[in-house]
Amino acid sequence: MPTALEPIELPDWAWEKAEVRQALRARDIGAVFRHVQQYAGASQSRIAVATGMTQARVSEILHGRREVARFDVIERIADGLRMPDDARHLMGLAASREKRSGGAAFDLAAFPEVVRVYASQDSAADEIQQLARSAKELDVLAVRGLGLIGLNDSLLRACLPREQGGGGLRVRVLLLDPEAPALARRAAEIGESAESLAGGVRLAEARLRELADTCDIQAYRYAMLPTWRIIRTDSTMFVSAFDAGWEGHESAKYKIMETPHGPLHRGFRRMFEAITDGAQRTV
């Protein structure tokens, strides 16, 4: 049984939970404390000791009878709960290493958008599907997209709301233009005929048209040589790479979370929008 003096440690995955991140963005300290109780099993007394408060004050915050607005108190709470730098940034606080150094350290340790790395799509599949089922926006940048959304047993197709009248989901899928020179080059890179690869793109588009009455589905053709493979579910993005002889689902897959200061999520989102602006809509 932990004592009141034992430091509070939340597992890394708890800080990645959507509800925790929302509480941090809103600076809802009562919700943060409740999540600390849920994921770290911390009592009010442990929270009080860790954050330099009385137990009565912690109880008031937990039950919504008092709010925390002072910046120095929020800073003390972040220190006491040993928040990772990404969590601190969500509340508008400097990273802990920035406090020590007296200046911003612009590296991925200080701006930890990459919260997890998977060896391949297979190892990330369960989490991607879980997020896709509750998403309001789903963006996909692929080559032909059959394994992602084009076939009945593909990664994302089963996550789309077939019976809920669309469920408010907006889906955008960017596929490689079958007529573009880049498709022939990509086909040669993976040892496939251009006709076969082009046929796969057209099949994916045909299958996407079948979803028109189940959700807001949009499909586009882009003409550039594919480099990045992206799946975005709201504020979470999964990114992998294409290369010669290397398919996107075989690449390591980076889970990237949107943060106030991080450049990666912002940059990939901007790239997706730019490709969409220059693409031809087909569905």
- If one looks up domain 12-100 in CATH, what number appears? 1.10.260.40
The answer for residues whose C-beta is within 8 angstroms of residue 130's C-beta and 6 or more apart is none
Span 104-118, average pLDDT:
62
Contact by Cβ (8 Å): 24, 89: no
DSSP state of 147: I
Task: Please tell me the distance from the alpha carbon of residue 219 to that of residue 140, in angstroms, as a whole number.
Answer: 9
Tokens representing residue 246 in the block: 């290397």
Span 120-133, average pLDDT:
91
**Does the pLDDT of residue 16 top 70, yes or no?**
yes
Span 27-44, average pLDDT:
92
Tokens representing residue 157 in the block: 């197709």
For residue range 129-175, what is the model confidence (pLDDT) as tens digits?
999 988 999 999 999 999 999 888 899 988 886 544 445 789 999 99
Tokens representing residue 146 in the block: 């059959």
Q: Tell me what the pLDDT averaged over the chain comes to.
A: 87
pTM for the model stands at 0.65
pLDDT at residue number 109 = 47
Q: Collapse the DSSP code of 148 into the 3-class scheme (helix H, G, I; strand E, B; otherwise coil) and give the result.
A: helix
**Does the pLDDT of residue 268 top 70, yes or no?**
yes
Q: Which CATH class is domain 114-281?
A: alpha beta
The answer for residues whose C-beta is within 8 angstroms of residue 267's C-beta and 6 or more apart is none
Span 242-270, average pLDDT:
86
Strand extents, DSSP E, 67-181:
114-118, 137-141, 170-176
Contact by Cβ (8 Å): 66, 60: yes
Contact by Cβ (8 Å): 33, 63: no
Angle at 250 between CA 281 and CA 245, to 5 degrees: 85
The residues of the chain that CATH labels 3.30.870.10 are 114-281
Task: Please tell me the distance from the alpha carbon of residue 128 to that of residue 247, in angstroms, as a whole number.
Answer: 18
The residues of the chain that CATH labels 1.10.260.40 are 12-100
**Does the pLDDT of residue 261 top 90, yes or no?**
no
The secondary structure element, H or E, covering residue 130 is: helix 121-134
Lowest mean pLDDT among 165-169, 208-212, 245-249: 165-169
Contact by Cβ (8 Å): 110, 102: no
